[in-house]
Amino acid sequence: MTRRKLAAGNWKMNGTSANLAELDALAKAHPTPGCDILICPPATLIARAAQAVPDQIAIGGQDCHQNETGAHTGDISAQMLLDAGASHVILGHSERREDHEESDADVRSKVVAALAAGLKVVVCVGESLTEREANNTLDIIGGQMAGSIPDVVTGENLVVAYEPIWAIGTGKVPTLDQIGDVHDFIRARLERRFGVGVGRSTRILYGGSVKPSNATEIFAVSNVDGALVGGASLKASDFSPIIAALESA
């Protein structure tokens, strides 16, 4: 089964109006991209980004609340993201799990809310360095998938992103064999739980210190369907070579 590759950029808590020029530069560099491109800017830029970019770049949120409305100061619902022009949302990122103590159950409820609103979800899973060194990686990933992903997903609305916590923003990258082992494991778990159709059509991204210098070799690994990129997605000059490597994979 052919899966269209996906290059996703997570701007995290970075970016103001001036940074929207990077989206224009990215669109000009890839007028007819050979892969899907997704940018998830801070919430303050979603509406303007969605209006500014052409159709070849999708815009997403970085989180959403599990409730549609309510007294939740500072939170954003999935319906609000959709209304602002987002088509995707990142959920369960390790920084949300750690900084905001989000559990797998919390992530699952947000996924359900996002899907109900019509958004596509990028569900993040990943192990800490302690868990990796204790050889518990696959147990951790399996548990996060079981707890964070609800039964209602399809290959069209679910993306799974493997981000080893110890590799995010550190410059450290797992070996290609380590990446392949986890991605193969995720694929097998998806097929076993949801069936071959959903399991084989769901895209699995790698995230964690992806940059132009290592993108080509990472994208050659089994079951790597693209990347969730942090810092290197903030500038078109850094993200464009990663997209180009994915287009050639």
The pTM of the full predicted model, rounded to 2 decimals, is: 0.97
Instruction: Give the DSSP H or E segment for 38.
Output: strand 36-40
Spatial separation of the C-alpha atoms in residues 33 and 67, rounded to whole Å: 35
Q: How many domains does the chain have?
A: 1
Sequence length of the chain is 249
Spatial separation of the C-alpha atoms in residues 109 and 1, rounded to whole Å: 30
Query: Are the CB atoms for 229 and 242 separated by under 8 Å?
Result: yes
Spatial separation of the C-alpha atoms in residues 93 and 107, rounded to whole Å: 9
The confidence score (pLDDT) of residue 188 equals 98
The confidence score (pLDDT) of residue 173 equals 82
Query: Which CATH number is 111's domain given?
Result: 3.20.20.70
The pLDDT tens digits for 63-115 are 999 999 999 999 999 999 999 999 999 999 999 999 999 999 999 999 999 99
Q: Is 226 left (phi over 0), alpha (psi -120 to 50) or beta?
A: left
The confidence score (pLDDT) of residue 171 equals 83
Query: Are the CB atoms for 52 and 24 separated by under 8 Å?
Result: yes
Spatial separation of the C-alpha atoms in residues 27 and 210, rounded to whole Å: 20
Say which amino acid occupies 40.
C
Residue with tokens 């309510």: 70
Quote the tokens at residue 19: 């940074």
Quote the tokens at residue 171: 């410059």
C-alpha R_g of the chain? 17
Range of the domain at 129: 6-247
The confidence score (pLDDT) of residue 1 equals 65
Spatial separation of the C-alpha atoms in residues 55 and 183, rounded to whole Å: 29
Residues in the chain predicted with pLDDT less than 50, given as ranges, are none
The confidence score (pLDDT) of residue 170 equals 84
Spatial separation of the C-alpha atoms in residues 186 and 164, rounded to whole Å: 13
The confidence score (pLDDT) of residue 89 equals 99
Name the residues annotated as catalytic.
Answer: 93, 163
1 in a structural domain: no
Quote the tokens at residue 113: 């809310």
Residue with tokens 């989206």: 23
Instruction: Give the DSSP H or E segment for 6.
Output: strand 6-10
